[in-house]
């Protein structure tokens, strides 16, 4: 007979929410007292430490989660250090009878989870692991030959063939606490917020992390943006996308909740499908990560190992990072990223293409910058999408399809509104000038101290050089 007084420990990681959290739900339903734990393991031993913007997000997310647990009569226990060691010691200190958690997907995390599970079971603790941050278990969606899909469309068809994903699980009204003594770190002592300097003002103006804010955003998206999503999602000034990416990344809302909420919306089925397809890309990227655990560093197509990347000029790299390349759409995107920790998807593609193809810098350099600056920096999506733009990934855009950032701007930001928002030096110009300020007589790129730089590369010549480098790699 299990000892019902022995608590259930819920180890939260990428599922920082109380609703649709099967691990929390199981612990509550077990009738045991519950200990809810988050361990910040930023040693790098189990995987890549979070970047600066993600650390900022995590601080506020943990704060919101603790408040939500307190409302339910419990609290969040915080630990800092090796996840496996901290969980082992919490199981020991509390005499726990059950450990529940949700699956993680990088190689280091999977290996650590296996170790924790074995150690817990050896101590007689029952372990229960749930699928909560993805709609499928990577590696489980296979073609007729029992193999993974190499391209997205049939993968998504197979993913959705079985019908709708399971319904979300309700949040518990109360989470009975374990009343023993258990040490918890102070959130402020985890050092997640930037100091000296504190560069997070733009993040704070833009975002409210946490589960409650995630649901407000889902509501706002469904009511105000979804109907125009299919037509306008590529237009950065239209603000038609959901901006749910950081909430999904940290698990403040689950893909199950988003899926069902969107399916219930009163908008045509083809528009809903367009959005759900994007959620499908997230699933696909995790499948890629599962098949290629070194996705962030190793080309899926190994022929790219021989690509003749240009030597990095620090000044040029910094101009890209800070939005001073002289190419307006690229600069607008990089400034949006620096200020808000997020960038519109179309502009992510353009800025990445500019780095990889016009500057001919190794895609991993850009991937690392995004990792550090995005609030939604994600081990699967970021690496997979950088490889997609580079042409080295699965189902990737071919390398020779080089985005022209001026034409992209004219097409997707025809009035230059997005550019005017992020590059105020160009605000007073008409649309044509905003896209090509160097053509404006006595414009912002002229004079002894120009307000805005000339392009740091010649777009046409650098495109030709990239294609030439690609041919060299192929031969
Ligand atoms: C170079 C590059 C790097 C990227 N890095 C990341 C990253 O680190 N984290 C991340 O979540 N997304 C990344 N993306 C994908 C995409 O740009 C963002 O998911 C999207 O812009 C987030 O905005 P949204 O929530 O408004 O998206 P919506 O259009 O509202 O889409 C809804 C959700 O679907 C998922 N999604 C949308 N587009 C994609 C996509 N192309 N690939 C995978 N999932 C997608 C996201 O979870 C997103 O929140 C990257 C794209 C590129 C080109």
Nearest CA to ligand 1 atom 44: 282
Q: Count Cα neighbours of 58 within 13 Å in the Cβ-side half-sphere.
A: 27
pLDDT tens by residue, the chain, 475 residues: 467 789 999 999 999 999 999 999 999 999 999 999 999 999 999 989 999 999 999 999 999 999 999 999 999 999 999 999 999 999 999 999 999 999 999 999 999 999 999 999 999 999 999 999 999 999 999 999 999 998 999 999 999 998 899 999 999 999 999 999 999 999 999 999 999 899 999 999 999 999 999 999 999 999 999 999 999 999 999 999 999 999 999 999 999 999 999 999 999 999 999 999 999 999 999 999 999 999 999 999 999 999 999 999 999 999 999 999 999 999 999 999 999 999 999 999 999 999 999 999 999 999 999 999 999 999 999 999 999 999 999 887 888 889 999 999 999 999 999 999 999 999 999 999 999 999 999 999 999 999 999 999 999 999 999 999 999 999 8
278 catalytic? Reply is yes
- Summarize pLDDT for 282-320 with one digit per residue, the tens: 999 999 999 999 999 999 999 999 999 999 999 999 999
* SS3 call for 430: coil
CA distances from 80 to 41, 51, 84, 184, 469 (A): 6, 17, 11, 9, 46
- Are 445 and 453 in contact by the 8 Å Cβ rule? The answer is yes
Identify the H or E element spanning 155: helix 152-161
* SS3 call for 283: helix
Distance (Å) from CA 229 to ligand 1 centroid: 14
Query: Integer distance in angstroms from the first to the last C-alpha of the chain?
Result: 69
Distance (Å) from CA 385 to ligand 1 centroid: 9
Ligand-binding annotation for 377, yes or no, is: yes
DSSP-derived pairing of the beta strands 76-80 and 98-102: unpaired
Q: Which of 56, 57, 363, 371 is catalytic?
A: 363
Distance (Å) from CA 343 to ligand 1 centroid: 9
Q: What residue ranges do the domains of the chain occupy? A: 1-132, 134-165+211-291, 302-474
Q: Which two tokens stand for residue 347?
A: 């502009």
CB atoms < 10 A from the CB of 235, how many? 19
Q: What is the pLDDT of residue 196?
A: 82
Q: Which residues line ligand 1 (CB under 6 A)?
A: 233, 241-245, 248-249, 278-279, 281-282, 285, 345, 348-349, 352, 370, 374, 376-378, 381-382, 385-386, 389
Ligand-binding annotation for 244, yes or no, is: yes
CA distances from 45 to 27, 274, 370, 468, 474 (A): 28, 38, 21, 40, 36
Number of helices (H) and strands (E) in the chain: give both, helices first: 20, 5
Nearest CA to ligand 1 atom 16: 345
Q: Which atom of ligand 1 is nearest to the CA of 348?
A: 53
358 catalytic? Reply is no
Q: Which of 56, 178, 281, 371 is catalytic?
A: 281
CA distances from 194 to 56, 204, 318 (A): 7, 12, 20
Ligand-binding annotation for 418, yes or no, is: no
- Are 214 and 247 in contact by the 8 Å Cβ rule? The answer is yes
Distance (Å) from CA 168 to ligand 1 centroid: 22
Long-range contacts, stretch 164-168, CB < 8 angstroms, 24+ apart: 164/259, 164/260, 164/263, 165/135, 165/255, 165/256, 165/259, 165/260, 166/256, 167/256, 167/260, 168/19, 168/20, 168/254, 168/256, 168/257, 168/260
* SS3 call for 36: strand
Ligand-binding annotation for 378, yes or no, is: yes
281 catalytic? Reply is yes
Distance CA 106, CA 384 (A): 13
Nearest CA to ligand 1 atom 51: 385
Identify the H or E element spanning 35: strand 34-40
Distance CA 117, CA 138 (A): 19
pTM tops 0.95, yes or no = yes
Long-range contacts, stretch 196-200, CB < 8 angstroms, 24+ apart: 199/52, 200/56
Ligand-binding annotation for 229, yes or no, is: yes
- Is 134-165+211-291 a domain of CATH 3.40.50.10780? no
For residue 163, which of 258, 259, 231, 78 has the smallest C-alpha distance? 259
56 catalytic? Reply is no
How is 360-429 classified by DSSP, letter by letter?
A: ---HHHHHHHHHHH-TT--TTHHHHHHHHHHT-STTPPPTT----HHHHHHHHSTT-HHHHHH-GGGTTS
Distance (Å) from CA 155 to ligand 1 centroid: 18
Ligand-binding annotation for 243, yes or no, is: yes
- Are 363 and 392 in contact by the 8 Å Cβ rule? The answer is yes
CA distances from 25 to 52, 168, 169 (A): 31, 11, 8
Ligand 1 probe mutation, 365, 376, 412, most atoms within 8 A of CB: 376
For residue 229, which of 187, 270, 275 has the smallest C-alpha distance? 275
Ligand-binding annotation for 65, yes or no, is: no
Identify the H or E element spanning 99: strand 98-102
Identify the H or E element spanning 126: strand 126-130
Q: Which of 26, 345, 417, 438 is catalytic?
A: 345
CB atoms < 10 A from the CB of 189, how many? 9
Which residues partner with 8 through β-bridges?
A: 34, 98
CB atoms < 10 A from the CB of 269, how many? 9
Distance (Å) from CA 243 to ligand 1 centroid: 9
Sign of CA dihedral 7, 136, 85, 172: negative
Q: Which of 320, 386, 388, 422 is catalytic?
A: 386
What are residue 328's phi and psi, to 5 degrees? -55, -45
Q: What is the pLDDT of residue 2?
A: 61
Distance (Å) from CA 400 to ligand 1 centroid: 23
Q: Which of 63, 93, 185, 278 is catalytic?
A: 278
- Summarize pLDDT for 267-278 with one digit per residue, the tens: 999 999 999 999
CATH (one of 3.40.50.620, 3.30.300.30, 3.30.70.2740, 3.90.600.10) for 1-132: 3.40.50.620
Ligand-binding annotation for 245, yes or no, is: yes
Distance (Å) from CA 100 to ligand 1 centroid: 29
* SS3 call for 245: helix
Ligand 1 probe mutation, 343, 381, 394, 418, most atoms within 8 A of CB: 381
CATH (one of 1.10.3720.10, 3.20.20.70, 3.40.50.620, 1.10.579.10) for 302-474: 1.10.579.10
Nearest CA to ligand 1 atom 3: 382
* SS3 call for 229: helix
């Amino acid at each position: 007979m299990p000892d019902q007084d022995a608590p259930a420990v819920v180890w939260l990681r990428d599922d920082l929410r109380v609703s649709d959290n099967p691990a929390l739900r199981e612990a509550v339903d077990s009738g045991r007292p519950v200990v809810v734990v988050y361990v910040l393991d930023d040693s790098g031993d189990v995987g890549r430490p979070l970047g600066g913007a993600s650390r900022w997000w995590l601080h506020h997310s943990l704060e919101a989660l603790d408040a939500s647990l307190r409302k339910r009569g419990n609290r969040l226990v915080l630990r800092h250090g090796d996840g496996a060691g901290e969980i082992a010691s919490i199981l020991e200190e509390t005499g726990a009878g059950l450990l529940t958690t949700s699956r993680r997907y990088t190689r280091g995390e999977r290996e650590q989870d296996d170790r924790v599970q074995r150690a817990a079971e050896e101590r007689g603790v029952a372990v229960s692991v749930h699928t909560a941050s993805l709609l499928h278990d990577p590696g489980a969606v296979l073609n007729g030959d029992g193999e993974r899909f190499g391209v997205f469309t049939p993968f998504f068809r197979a993913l959705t063939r079985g019908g709708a994903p399971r319904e979300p699980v309700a949040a518990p009204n109360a989470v009975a606490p374990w009343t023993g003594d258990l040490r918890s770190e102070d959130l402020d002592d985890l050092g997640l917020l930037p100091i000296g300097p504190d560069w997070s003002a733009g993040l704070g103006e833009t975002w409210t992390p946490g589960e409650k804010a995630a649901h407000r955003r889902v509501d706002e998206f469904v009511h105000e943006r979804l109907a125009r999503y299919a037509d306008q999602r590529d237009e950065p000034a239209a603000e038609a996308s959901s901006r749910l990416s950081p909430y999904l990344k940290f698990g403040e809302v689950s893909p199950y909740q988003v899926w069902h909420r969107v399916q219930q919306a009163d908008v045509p089925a083809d528009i809903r499908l367009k959005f759900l397809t994007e959620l499908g890309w997230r699933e696909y990227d995790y499948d890629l990560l599962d098949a290629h655990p070194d996705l962030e560093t190793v080309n899926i197509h190994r022929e790219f190992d021989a690509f003749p990347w240009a030597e990095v000029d620090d000044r040029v790299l910094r101009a890209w990072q800070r939005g001073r390349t002289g190419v307006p759409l690229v600069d607008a995107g990089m400034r949006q990223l620096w200020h808000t920790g997020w960038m519109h998807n179309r502009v992510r593609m353009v800025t990445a293409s500019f780095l990889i193809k016009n500057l001919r810098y190794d895609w991993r350099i850009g991937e690392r910058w995004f990792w550090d600056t995005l609030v939604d920096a994600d081990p699967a999506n970021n690496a997979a999408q950088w490889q997609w733009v580079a042409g080295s990934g699965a189902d990737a855009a071919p390398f020779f399809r080089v985005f022209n950032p001026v034409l992209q701007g004219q097409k997707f930001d025809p009035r230059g509104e997005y550019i005017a928002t992020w590059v105020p030096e160009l605000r007073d110009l008409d649309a044509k000038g905003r896209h090509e300020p160097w053509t404006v007589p006595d414009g912002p790129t002229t004079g002894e101290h120009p307000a805005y730089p000339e392009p740091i590369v010649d777009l046409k010549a650098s495109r030709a050089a990239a294609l030439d480098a690609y041919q060299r790699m192929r031969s």
